[in-house]
């Protein structure tokens, strides 16, 4: 099972106990998020909407790849991968 | 007596405390960067905060000491069914009684908790009301922003929804009736005549829960029969349009903040004035001593006016240009608190020994 590092923005970290980085395990991106949400249930409120998908303005990178265009989160991850959460709001 | 203000803004909650209501101490921001939309405290002393974010959604946080906050988890938080058409965008108001808490949210709905806010369930009779598919949002969204309750009759609850109207339940939330007779409809539906009323805020006389004052999109109103019918009470107001209304329960003095029409939504002629009524809304007078004396075209949002429990009562307002003004003498004189904040969404005052 892969161990993956999830990096959170500061505005989000303050509502999930202050951690900027979570470590979660899983064979797939979906499984890693499920593990992260079980460790930190508050995180799910802020990343996933009522449709069960990532919120519209949440950006999620798997290493350097934007997952927005991934067909599914049911894709393998590797030990040492890095997930970065950012907000997709720019400009004024 | 100590007064604590929690000022919710677009970018965090700001807590001010004072022992004398003249000198105020500001603490570090609560939930910096988050929109803090409302606060509440239950009779048992539990604190509640509503937060929201365009990016990360809305949540309720609770605290038993006002220092350590804990977010209610997804399964127990107010939420709409996964896969449905409604989304939880904002916690607009929290009404915390001894045995029951109610939260009004955007997209418009009510949620109830009977375990001091640990878990919330939808008030389905309102959220899934037969008229619900035709509810239409106002400028502030489709939001349930005002909750009133009859302390002597726990089965009787009122809810204000923009731009739908005032609703009343006489059976603890199991059924709801539209209560807008005497008020002009602003968004008329072809078939449904119970909706399309734009209540902005309401305040209730705690000694006579059937008497309710209503700042509406179409004017200032009063009911003496629990909302069965409403009458206009606008004599002396600079404008019938506005958002907040508040009441000192001891003297029954009312406070409002008129603004110029729904097109402009700013103080009339740039005069930033609170209005006061000492006769149940029969007449209103402008209050300005200590409020901005130069032209001011900001505003006061519906939840940004509060009353404390002292005698004479303190009155507090927060403006859209980030200032908070406090009066310790029933509105006669005002002072600006020593800070400029982001746009003020809500002001709540808490009094303790």
Structure tokens at A6: 């999830």
Strand partners, B212: B204, B223
**CA B210, CA A49: separation in Å to the nearest integer?**
39
Is the pLDDT reported for residue A69 higher than 90?
no
Task: Give the residue from B109, B116, B111 showing the smallest Cα distance to B135.
Answer: B109
A44 close to B (CB below 8 A):
yes
Strand partners, B50: B38, B60
Nearest CA-CA distance, residue A44 and chain B, Å = 7
Q: Which of B34, B53, B55, B120 to mutate to test the interface with A (most CBs of A within 10 A)?
A: B55
Residue of B nearest to A8 (CA): B56
**CA A5, CA B345: separation in Å to the nearest integer?**
36
What is the structure's pLDDT at B257?
98
Residue of A nearest to B33 (CA): A11
The ipTM is 0.89
**CA B155, CA B159: separation in Å to the nearest integer?**
13
Residues of A in contact with B78 (CB under 8 A): none
Query: Taking a C-beta distance cutoff of 8 angstroms, is the pair B74, B82 a contact?
Result: no
Dihedral (CA of B122, B128, B131, B133) sign: positive
Is the pLDDT reported for residue B353 higher than 80?
no
Counting Cα atoms < 13 Å in the Cβ hemisphere of B346 gives: 24
Query: Taking a C-beta distance cutoff of 8 angstroms, is the pair B330, B253 a contact?
Result: yes
- Angstrom CA distances, B191 to B11, B132, B160, B179, stand at 41, 13, 21, 17
What is the structure's pLDDT at B230?
98
Q: Please name the member of B32, B56, B79 whose beta carbon is closest to the beta carbon of A50.
A: B79
Mean pLDDT of B263-267: 93
Q: Please name the member of B56, B82, B84 whose beta carbon is closest to the beta carbon of A12.
A: B56
Helices (H) and strands (E) in chain B, counts: 2, 28
Size of interface A-B (CB pairs under 8 A): 66
Residue of A nearest to B71 (CA): A42
B136 close to A (CB below 8 A):
no
Q: What is the dihedral of CA B130, B132, B134, B137, to 10 degrees?
A: 160
Is the pLDDT reported for residue B159 higher than 70?
yes
Rg over alpha carbons for chain A, rounded to the nearest Å, is 12
**CA A56, CA A58: separation in Å to the nearest integer?**
6
Residues of B in contact with A57 (CB under 8 A): 54-55
Structure tokens at A40: 């930190």
What is the structure's pLDDT at A90?
63
Q: Which of B13, B71, B82 to mutate to test the interface with A (most CBs of A within 10 A)?
A: B71
B68 close to A (CB below 8 A):
no
Interchain CB distance below 8 Å, A45 and B74 = yes
* Burial grade of A21 (CB within 10 A; 0-12, 13-18, 19 or more): exposed
**CA B166, CA B197: separation in Å to the nearest integer?**
8
Nearest CA-CA distance, residue B124 and chain A, Å = 17
Mean pLDDT of B240-257: 97
What is the structure's pLDDT at A92?
58
Residues of A in contact with B59 (CB under 8 A): 15, 42, 45-46
A42 close to B (CB below 8 A):
yes
Higher pLDDT, B74 or B199: B199
Query: Taking a C-beta distance cutoff of 8 angstroms, is the pair B351, B1 a contact?
Result: yes
Interchain CB distance below 8 Å, A49 and B55 = no
Higher pLDDT, A19 or B21: B21
β pairing state of B90-96 and B121-122: unpaired
Position B140 confidence tier, pLDDT thresholds 50, 70, 90: confident
**CA B70, CA B75: separation in Å to the nearest integer?**
14
Position A73 confidence tier, pLDDT thresholds 50, 70, 90: confident
* Triad B232, B237, B242: Cα angle to 5°: 80
Is the pLDDT reported for residue B255 higher than 80?
yes
Q: Which of A11, A57, A86, A92 to mutate to test the interface with B (most CBs of B within 10 A)?
A: A11
Q: In the 8-state DSSP scheme, what is residue A63?
A: T
Nearest CA-CA distance, residue B291 and chain A, Å = 31
What is the structure's pLDDT at B231?
98
Nearest CA-CA distance, residue A86 and chain B, Å = 9
Interchain CB distance below 8 Å, B87 and A44 = no
Q: What is the dihedral of CA B318, B18, B336, B67, to 10 degrees?
A: -40
**CA B43, CA B350: separation in Å to the nearest integer?**
11
Q: Please name the member of A12, A44, A55 whose beta carbon is closest to the beta carbon of B74.
A: A44
**CA B86, CA B54: separation in Å to the nearest integer?**
15
A57 close to B (CB below 8 A):
yes
Position A91 confidence tier, pLDDT thresholds 50, 70, 90: low
Residue of B nearest to A54 (CA): B56
Query: Taking a C-beta distance cutoff of 8 angstroms, is the pair B324, B6 a contact?
Result: no
Is the pLDDT reported for residue A77 higher than 80?
yes
Position B310 confidence tier, pLDDT thresholds 50, 70, 90: very high
**CA B301, CA B145: separation in Å to the nearest integer?**
11
Position B260 confidence tier, pLDDT thresholds 50, 70, 90: very high
Position B83 confidence tier, pLDDT thresholds 50, 70, 90: confident
What is the structure's pLDDT at B73?
86
**CA B291, CA B339: separation in Å to the nearest integer?**
15
Mean pLDDT of A75-92: 87
What is the structure's pLDDT at B180?
98
**CA B175, CA B126: separation in Å to the nearest integer?**
7
3-state secondary structure of B308: coil
Phi, psi of B132 (to 5 degrees): -50, -40
């Amino acid at each position: 099972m892969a161990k993956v590092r999830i990096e959170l923005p500061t505005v989000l970290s303050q509502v999930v106990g202050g951690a900027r980085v979570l470590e979660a395990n899983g064979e797939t991106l979906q499984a890693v998020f499920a593990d992260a949400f079980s460790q930190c249930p508050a995180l799910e409120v802020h990343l996933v909407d009522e449709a069960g998908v990532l919120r519209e303005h949440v950006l999620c990178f798997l290493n350097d790849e934007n997952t927005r265009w991934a067909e599914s989160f049911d894709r393998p991850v590797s030990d040492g991968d890095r997930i970065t959460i950012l907000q997709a709001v720019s400009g004024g | 007596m100590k007064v604590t203000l929690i000022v919710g803004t677009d970018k965090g909650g700001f807590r001010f405390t004072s022992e004398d209501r003249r000198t105020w101490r500001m603490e570090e921001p609560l939930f910096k960067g988050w929109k803090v939309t409302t606060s509440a405290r239950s009779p048992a002393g539990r604190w509640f905060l509503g937060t929201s974010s365009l990016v990360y959604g809305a949540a309720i946080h609770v605290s038993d000491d006002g220092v350590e906050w804990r977010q209610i988890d997804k399964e127990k938080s107010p939420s709409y069914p996964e896969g449905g058409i409604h989304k939880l965008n904002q916690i607009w108001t929290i009404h915390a009684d001894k045995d029951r808490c109610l939260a009004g949210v955007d997209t418009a709905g009510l949620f109830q908790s009977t375990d001091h806010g640990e878990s919330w369930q939808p008030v389905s009779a309102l959220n899934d009301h037969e008229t619900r598919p035709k509810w239409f949002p106002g400028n502030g969204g489709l939001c349930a922003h005002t909750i009133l309750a009859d302390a002597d009759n726990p089965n009787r609850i009122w809810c204000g929804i923009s731009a739908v109207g005032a609703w009343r339940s006489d059976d603890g939330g199991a059924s709801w009736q539209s209560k807008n007779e005497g008020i002009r409809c602003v968004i008329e539906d072809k078939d449904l005549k119970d909706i399309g009323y734009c209540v902005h805020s309401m305040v209730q006389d705690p000694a006579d829960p059937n008497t309710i004052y209503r700042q509406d999109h179409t004017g200032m109103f009063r009911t003496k029969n629990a909302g069965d019918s409403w009458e206009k009470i606008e004599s002396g107001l600079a404008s019938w349009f506005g958002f907040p209304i508040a009441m000192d329960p001891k003297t029954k003095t009312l406070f409002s903040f008129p603004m110029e029409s729904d097109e402009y939504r700013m103080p009339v002629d740039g005069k930033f004035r609170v209005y006061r009524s000492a006769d149940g809304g029969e007449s209103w007078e402008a209050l300005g001593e200590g409020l901005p004396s130069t032209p001011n075209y900001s505003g006061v949002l519906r939840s940004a006016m509060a009353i404390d429990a002292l005698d004479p009562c303190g009155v507090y307002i927060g403006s859209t240009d980030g200032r908070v003004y406090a009066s310790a003498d029933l509105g006669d004189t005002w002072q600006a608190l020593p800070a400029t904040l982001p746009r003020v969404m809500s002001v709540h005052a808490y009094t303790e020994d």
